[in-house]
Structure 1
Amino acid sequence: MRIFGYALALLFLFTGCINNEESEGPWEEIRPETFEVSAQQGNALTIRITQSCGSACWGALEDRISKDGNVYSITTLARIISEVCTLQCVAYSREYEIELPAPGQYTFRYVLADTTADEFTFELN
């Protein structure tokens, strides 16, 4: 009976590790720990966000980038693929390639729940 109990506990523990990308679960906004320019080549910028302790329940990621003048707003959403998840940290890093149209000052905002969570300014000469 004790072995059955352990087997059942392991089954529930690892249920959250099943990655079903086709799942139609809800989306959750991701709050990054870092939001920065990681590379520049000419007018092209690579912006990186990182999170050292994401959720084991995150499946597919979706990026939303919008531009209003010289202000770029970025949000990343993760599809929740399971209601039962292990309590493990899953690190992730996401990069965005953005081509700036001309020299000038640009603002990059990371947006969560329609509020700016992080922001920086970049000067392209």
Structure 2
Amino acid sequence: MLNETQIKLKPWGREIWFAHTDKYAGKILEVKKGHRYSLQYHEKKEETQYILEGKAKFTYGTEKENLQEKILEEGDKIDVLPYTIHRLEALENTRILEVSSPELNDVVKLEDDYGRSGKGNNEELDKNLS
């Protein structure tokens, strides 16, 4: 259980973790204009991302060779189910509210602009790249 808010620095911006229990998690992603997080999927984690402010391009699909793109603006939301390949690129500085199942380290990175790869998160590497 998360007792206090945590800031996680990322090379594309930062995450503000405000809730993490055995049943759900909540965080705010702040993605800097021109940056994007890794092309990734989750094996168990389900999430909903809601655009609080900004504008972003969301890439998603079930096959890497056949991904779709959608422009998201303030007030838009997208649901991400397990094994959905996805990536968000900020067209403006963008803040996203994410609510999800609790598996916050359940990520498989397929492509990454910052050289990160594989399963899970590496907080030390993220901090060094930010």
Which structure is higher in strand share? 1
Normalised to the residue count of structure 2, the TM-score between the two structures is 0.33
Greater CA radius of gyration, 1 or 2? 1
